[in-house]
Amino acid sequence: MQERIDGERLDGKVALVTGASRGIGTAIARRLAAEGATVACTARTMEPDPRYPGTLRETVEMIEKAGGKAAAFKGDLSNADDRKGLVDEVRSALGPIDILVNNAAVTFFLPIDTFPEKRFKLMIETQVWSTIDLAQQVIPDMRSRGAGWILNISSRAAVKPMGPPFEEFYKTGNSSVYGLCKAALERLSLGMAAELFDDNIAVNTLAPWDNVPTPGAGVHDLVEKYRLEPEEIIAQAALELCAAEPKTLTGRVAYSQSLIQELGVTPHALDGRPLGTWPRAH
């Protein structure tokens, strides 16, 4: 069942959501579109990945069936030429970009003592430098329009391990490089928020409090034995950070459940599924 959410909070806005072929990226794209944004959905390929369900075309189809507006754009965010071409193509097709959601990530969970340099550089390029590069390309449009919103998707893995003794996740999860990337993203976002405050451009990071049962999380064995959070929760939190007056909600390292509880927001289902009682205590 497709559910139309008749919202107008983002009417006239153009949003670019990276990593929008599945999971959190798809959920955020759908939620922004439901509030009136025209959403540029991007990922590395238009074609199905045998490891994961979901494609860019399917994301766009879901949005359009619900009455929203979206378009698909192929782009490998680890490639500088692709990033430049992506922004130019979106701007040409849809207009200036008001909202940038940096969700795409390349992730490897490998032991630190054998972590390959090539994969380290790929993770940094995709998760950290790509965030800066895309922001640099859209900030001029945001300045000229008098407002803008940049949202960077992080993770609880950015929280430094406390110990000893250390939690089992940090001891056996091989998450040191992943956590490094997300911690860098959070510090970067806070600095960007300060630098862009006078330009009326909000910059925030957002992470789920519990694991979201996405296809990627399943591949990395991050679903079984973990507390789970519906994708609608982080999608709702993303909407709040991309719809508020920029100077009133910026410079946040936010967690989805805590944020919607703070704002007194009721998460809206994307396809009619009951959400139960959210947010829950943690």
Catalytic residues, which ones? 178
Contact 275, 256 (CB under 8 A): no
Look at residues 42, 19, 17, 45 and name the one whose alpha carbon lies nearest to residue 31.
17
Bridge partners of 253? Answer: 205
Dist. CA 231–CA 208, nearest whole Å: 9
Bridge partners of 228? Answer: 211
Dist. CA 15–CA 13, nearest whole Å: 6
Q: Is the dihedral of CA 8, 11, 13, 19 positive or negative?
A: positive
Structure tokens given for 65: 């069936």
Which residues, at least 6 apart from 39, have a Cβ–Cβ distance to it below 8 Å?
14, 15, 16, 17, 20, 29, 32, 33, 63, 68, 69, 70, 71
DSSP-derived secondary structure for 33-80: HHTT-EEEEEES-SSPBTTB---HHHHHHHHHHTT-EEEEEE--TTSH
CB atoms within 10 A of CB 260: 21
Contact 149, 246 (CB under 8 A): yes
Bridge partners of 102? Answer: 152
